[in-house]
Amino acid sequence: MKIYKNYNITVIGAGHVGLVTAACFSELGNKVICVDNDKNKISKLNKLIMPFYEPDLEKLVLKNFKKRLFFSNSLDYGIRNSQIIFIAVGTPPKEDGSSDLSAIEIISREIALKLNSYKLIVEKSTVPVQTGQKIKETILRYKKNNVEFDIASNPEFLREGSAVYDFFNPDRIVVGTDSKKAKEILKNLYAPLKSKIIITDINTAEIIKHASNSFLAAKISFINAVARICDLAGANVKDVAYALGLDKRIGKYFLDAGIGYGGFCFPKDLEAFLYISKKLGYEFGLLSEVKKINETQKLYFVEKIKEKLWILKDKKIAILGLSFKPNTDDLRFAPSIDIINYLLKEGASISAYDPKSNEAAKKIFKDNIYFAKNIYDAVKNSDCICFLTEWEEFKKIDFKKIKKLLKTPIIADGRNMFNRKELEFLGFEYIGIGT
Ligand code: NAD
């Protein structure tokens, strides 16, 4: 059996990326300190309470906790006791679309002041191109000794809902660095994953991440635009997408028409890429259109429901699925939020159910909507059911039972999960997107 080299690692940020990265590196045999400035989060993690739902994460944390995986609030402790420091803090969008990099700047200064031995500082957060350069300049400006350090960009491609699987089975690992030593360390660190490692300079690695997410968002908006033409012409977008996807140059993924993309990555990364492109002197008009299509897609869906129900005031709408995608409780930029707000504005009452994110949604909607215990509780006496997230649980629904519970058997399928003909055969009126 091949023995891999292990490292002392600190991961800064115990969020969807940081916590998964920390747990997975500890599983590979490294000693990992996961640092977060959210005291409540760290205190809960030290009691083995997970801050969010992610399949298989809890298992890994329980297995490695206090053997190779430690949680701390102290950045100082994390910096001093590691050779590799991954920065995995949030880079949220600002009003103007640019990324808020203030956490990364604070951490860079902190690292500069605490440099006690060689450190490899790795950007894992998604950042605009040239951020690595800024981190380096900041550390050089504030450091107090001659201790060496290197910077690398190692963008993360994991998907919430399958993050642990994605960590261990990446399509590729991107490492951007100008340092031979950093390159060797990261190659050794990732060697157990036996994945293709792409080595580039830092700027290129940073652009790879923004370009990847923007391209995926563009694919979704493209098929959503095609779906609208299908609606107008009486064609079926599912068949169009299937035929398109069989062309190897196009590929079958991310061609599902629906209510558009959401989540913490696509909307903000697209916005940040638009912003940085403009700042550098290029107006990325294609991405502006991708964004516009996505934003109007939610309203388009509500308009279709309105067309069917005529007046929404005093109608009861059952919302099935709130999270921006299945297998996560993450509601950040979830299309469900805008759709529910549109429906509420029209005077509809909402009864919602999500297998994992009811609790998180209560913080957003408070008492303005009813949170149901299960699917059947949600649909009782409703005028229409809207499917907004394609959870597996919904695919197994007993539609005959549902039909008896509904006031009027209307289904608005925001994810094109179901077959129109099958539901119409059961006596439902069906609203799809481009189908
Ligand atoms: P998150 O909000 O879930 O987690 C960020 C964590 O950083 C929080 O726990 C926060 O308390 C902590 N933090 C913020 N400032 C800090 C500081 N100064 N010191 C210590 N901790 C601090 O965010 P996330 O979803 O994990 O995303 C992190 C980064 O990874 C972002 O740049 C994001 O774009 C990128 N990314 C996210 C995903 C995803 O699917 N969520 C995928 C790939 C890349």
In this prediction, residues 70-92 reach a mean pLDDT of 98
Is residue 433 within 8 Å of 260, Cβ to Cβ? no
**Same domain as 22, residue 129:** yes
Q: Is the pTM of this model over 0.85?
A: yes
3-state helix, strand, coil in the chain (%, to 5): 45, 15, 40
Is residue 30 a part of any domain in this protein? yes
Residues 361 and 289 in one domain: yes
CB atoms within 10 A of CB 82: 22
Q: Of the candidates 200, 226, 260, which is a domain's last residue?
A: 200
**Domain final residue pick, 200, 232, 263:** 200
Q: Which residues contact 304 (CB under 8 A, 6 or more apart)?
A: 412, 431, 433
AA identity, residue 4? Y
What's the mean pLDDT in 196-212?
98
Task: Give residue for tokens 């964004």.
Answer: 291
Under the banding of pLDDT at 50, 70 and 90, the label for residue 120 is: very high
Residue among 24, 34, 265, 386 flagged as catalytic: 265
Residue 408 has pLDDT above 80, yes or no: yes
Look at the block and give the residue holding tokens 């921006």.
324
Domain check: are 184 and 266 in the same one?
A: no
Residues 295 and 386 in one domain: yes
Question: Residue 59: beta bridge partners?
Answer: none
pLDDT in tens, 236-281: 999 999 999 999 999 999 999 999 999 999 999 999 999 999 999 9
Shared domain check, 94 and 239: no
Whether the predicted pLDDT of 311 surpasses 70: yes
In a domain, 207, yes or no: no
Clarify whether residues 422 and 377 are in a common domain: yes
Residue 2 has pLDDT above 80, yes or no: no
Look at residues 382, 385, 387 and name the one whose alpha carbon lies nearest to residue 316: 382
**Rounded CA separation 121/79 (Å):** 10
Determine how many CB atoms are found less than 10 A away from the CB of residue 282. Answer: 10
CA distance 423 to 428: 5
With the most atoms of ligand 1 within 8 angstroms of its CB, the residue from 10, 11, 12, 16 to mutate is 16
Residue where one domain finishes, among candidates 200, 223, 251: 200
Same domain, 180 and 276: no
Q: Which of 146, 154, 212, 209 is CA-nearest to residue 185?
A: 154
Q: What is the pLDDT of residue 3?
A: 80
Name the 3-class secondary structure at 26. helix
In a domain, 209, yes or no: no
Residue 40 scores a pLDDT above 90: yes
2 inside domain: no
Residue 187 tokens read as 């190659």
Spatial CA neighbour of 198 closest among 148, 266, 152, 253: 152
Q: Please report which confidence band the pLDDT of residue 4 belongs to, taking 50, 70 and 90 as the band edges.
A: confident
Note the pLDDT of residue 1. 67
| CA separation for the pair 165, 84 (Å, rounded) | 23
Share of residues in the chain with pLDDT > 90 (%): 99
Alpha helices in 115-149 (DSSP H): 131-142
Q: Are residues 172 and 32 in the same domain?
A: yes
In a shared domain, residues 108 and 148: yes
- Count how many domains the chain has: 2
Work out the burial of residue 140: count CB atoms within 10 Å of its CB; fewer than 13 is exposed, 13-18 middle, 19 or more buried: exposed
- Candidates 85, 156, 164, 268: which one to mutate for ligand 1, based on the most atoms within 8 Å of Cβ? 156
Q: For the domain that residue 235 is a member of, what is the CATH number?
A: 3.40.50.720
Q: What percent of the chain has pLDDT over 70?
A: 100
Considering the chain, what is the average pLDDT of its residues?
97
293 and 405 share one domain? yes
What separation in Å is there between the alpha carbon of 400 and the centre of ligand 1? 43
355-374 pLDDT, tens digit per residue, is 999 999 999 999 999 999 99
Q: Does a structural domain hold residue 205?
A: no
Is 172 within the bounds of a domain? yes
Residue numbers of the domain that contains 125: 8-200
**φ/ψ of residue 266, rounded to 5:** -55, -55
CA 363 / ligand 1 centre spacing (Å): 20
Q: What is the pLDDT of residue 34?
A: 98
Q: Are residues 224 and 196 in the same domain?
A: no
pLDDT at 70: 98
Q: Is residue 3 situated within a structural domain?
A: no
Give me the sign of the Cα torsion angle 241, 246, 248, 249: negative
Using CA atoms, how far residue 251 sits from 220, 241, 245, 256, 428, in Å, is 13, 10, 5, 12, 33
Instruction: Please indicate, yes or no, whether residues 181 and 267 belong to a single structural domain of this protein.
Output: no
> Does a structural domain hold residue 227?
yes
Q: Which residues line ligand 1 (CB under 6 A)?
A: 12-18, 35-38, 41, 88-91, 103, 106-107, 125-126, 156, 158, 160, 264-265
Reported as type and span, the H/E element at residue 241 is helix 237-245
- Strand locations in 65-155, DSSP E? 69-72, 84-87, 119-123, 149-153
Is 24 one of the catalytic residues?
A: no
